[in-house]
Amino acid sequence: MAGDVILEAKGLTKEFRGFVAVKDVDLQVRRGTIHALIGPNGAGKTTCFNLLTKFLTPTRGRITFNGHDITHAKPADIARMGLVRSFQISAVFPHLTVLENVRIALQRKRGASFDFWRSERVLDSFNERAIELIDAVGLSDYVHAVAVELPYGRKRALEIATTLALDPEMMLLDEPMAGMGHEDIDRIAALIKKVSVNRTVLMVEHNLSVVANLSDTITVLTRGQVLAEGDYASISKNPEVQQAYMGSGDA
Amino acid sequence: MTTAAYQIDAPAKTTTLTHQYVAFGIMTAFFVVAPIFIYPVFLMQALCFALFACAFNLLIGYVGLLSFGHAMFLGTAGYISAHAAKVWGFPPELAILTGTAASALLGVLAGALAIRRQGIYFAMITLALAQMIYFFALQAPFTGGEDGIQAVPRGIMFGFLDLSNQMTLYWVVLAIFLFGFLLIYRIVHSPFGQVLKAIRENEQRATSLGYKTDHYKLIAFVLSAALSGLAGATKAIVFQLASLTDVHWTMSGEVVLMTLLGGLGTIFGPVAGAFIIIAMQNYLAQFGQWVTIIQGLIFVVCVLAFRRGVIGELGRYLKKPL
């Protein structure tokens, strides 16, 4: 059913000076699902992700979001359409407080904030909603902490709170669990599950086991191409996927 | 807004603002009594540079953009206001306004070009544009070339403030400085200022949250240019002179020095930095060429010993941002 697809890429290709990083990728993300894009190092996951979020422009191919062609849209524009991304390196505003971080996103509801003559006290009306979001990601004790002082896992939680503040229809998470310990992975996984209610999530991950219990659909990329797609059970049994992950020993 | 959340936030907010109000009170009180024991002309010069440094700091301290061509805004406004007062016979308030407007306009043009690049490229584009303005000022007939525009009449402001009276002039300059200072304070602490800080901290993230960062950067650039222009125009009326010194690239360097010395991204830092530099130039003038070397040494010591600048370190010691 075509109406069921929220984000679709067709024949997505990105070449860097002759090197093909992403080749002819077709991707359909169904509304309300958690979709994982996985693959070994250098498979083109991040390139693919940057193409979908418009931080890169594809060499060929077409991307549609909710039926609108966004192939040539700007990153800020698609964020306004409800397609919001996170970054591999945790993307917080380091020298602002946790509250201020979340408020920057909430402030978007005012439209453009060009009013330099008005006191920032007008932003206090967002505090209530900001604190709700901060509570939701388990950062209640850190409301006035400066973001740079948070431990890594908490920074990611803050980033998710900031992304949620935009109430996006679809969230794109770039390796949300990269560089985390086990407790943090479990906490962020639970958080992603929690925030995915009424939303679509597309996440890029390196590690297959991390996304096992989390995603409805998994797409495996290798060498810039789609190798396999399906749920965890079918993907994990796929011999080609196993080989891609074990290395190309006897290929 | 009577929720628990608001109450949690309230104490923290009030304290951050209160100590800055106290600091502002101390600064203003100092400027009110200062002319009793400090030569007013020196104070006026320092106030003009303090406003210039504050305007520059708006860009580097709160947006993270290092302009290396801010002399073009100081100098252009100086020439235009001097010309307006001397040749067109404008009263001082209109002359200053015309100069400021000219710098704002130049800010729109320069900003639109420069903000397309970041880091060193941004600095180089602003420097290149400032050099173009310098050579224009050197060659254009109305600027007087090497001589500059001299004997600019101070005139009578609003029809009743006779600026040839030194103390009247001092109060006018102080009022202009405080207006600029408070405007910058408001810009920094506005919803717009919050977005600027977000851009400074992580521009990509600000973009991904849906902010068109170029628009914010351009508005900040124009505001900074206009306020630098206000400083330059006021300075031209005070010293009755517009000269090449104010458009020269060394002036762009000096404002960087003032801001770094006082404290990048602090509200009061650029004021302190400007006073230190201007005082050094005045009181160390007897050492002639050595001033530059002493300045250089102080700069090196500053960068090595207290990187946050004088006010930045003080704020850290007091655990309160100044």
For position A249, what pLDDT does the model report?
A: 41
Q: Please name the residues between 208 and 247 in chain B that touch chain A, using a CB distance below 8 Å.
A: 208-213, 215-216, 219, 223
Q: Regarding predicted confidence, which is higher, A1 or B266?
A: B266
Mean pLDDT for chain B overall: 90
Q: Has residue B22 been placed in a domain?
A: no
Helices (H), B115-153: 119-139
Q: Has residue B132 been placed in a domain?
A: yes
Cross-strand bridge partners of residue A20? A15
Number of domains in chain B: 1
Write down the pTM of the prediction.
0.86
User: Domain-by-domain residue ranges, chain A?
Assistant: 5-247
Q: Has residue B151 been placed in a domain?
A: yes
**Chain B residues touching A174 at Cβ < 8 A:** none
Long-range residue pairs from A243-250, CB within 8 A, at least 24 positions apart, any chain: A244/A39, A244/A40, A244/A220, A245/A40, A245/A208
**DSSP label of B211:** -
Range(s) of the domain holding residue B244: 36-248
pLDDT of residue B83 exceeding 90: yes
**Using CA atoms, how far apart are residues A191 and A197, in angstroms rounded to an integer?**
11
A30-66 per-position pLDDT tens digit: 999 999 998 887 888 888 888 998 889 899 999 999 9
pLDDT band at residue B319 using 50, 70 and 90 as cut-offs: confident
Q: Has residue B261 been placed in a domain?
A: no
Question: Helix B213-239 and helix B166-188: axis angle, to 10°?
Answer: 170
For position A1, what pLDDT does the model report?
A: 41
CA distance B114 to chain A (A): 20
Contact B233, B78 (CB under 8 A): yes
B201-256 per-position pLDDT tens digit: 999 899 989 899 999 999 999 999 999 999 999 999 999 999 999 999 999 999 99
For position B288, what pLDDT does the model report?
A: 77
Second CATH level (architecture) for the domain A5-247: 3-Layer(aba) Sandwich (3.40)
pLDDT band at residue A102 using 50, 70 and 90 as cut-offs: very high
**Chain A residues touching B6 at Cβ < 8 A:** 124, 127-128
Q: Has residue B181 been placed in a domain?
A: yes
For position A211, what pLDDT does the model report?
A: 83
Do A114 and B209 lie within an 8 Å CB cutoff? no
Q: Please name the residues between 88 and 147 in chain A that touch chain B, using a CB distance below 8 Å.
A: 91-96, 99-100, 103-105, 107-108, 110, 112-125, 127-128, 130-132, 143-144
Q: Has residue B202 been placed in a domain?
A: yes
pLDDT band at residue B303 using 50, 70 and 90 as cut-offs: confident
**Using CA atoms, how far apart are residues B41 and B84, in angstroms rounded to an integer?**
23
Mean pLDDT on B278-301: 83
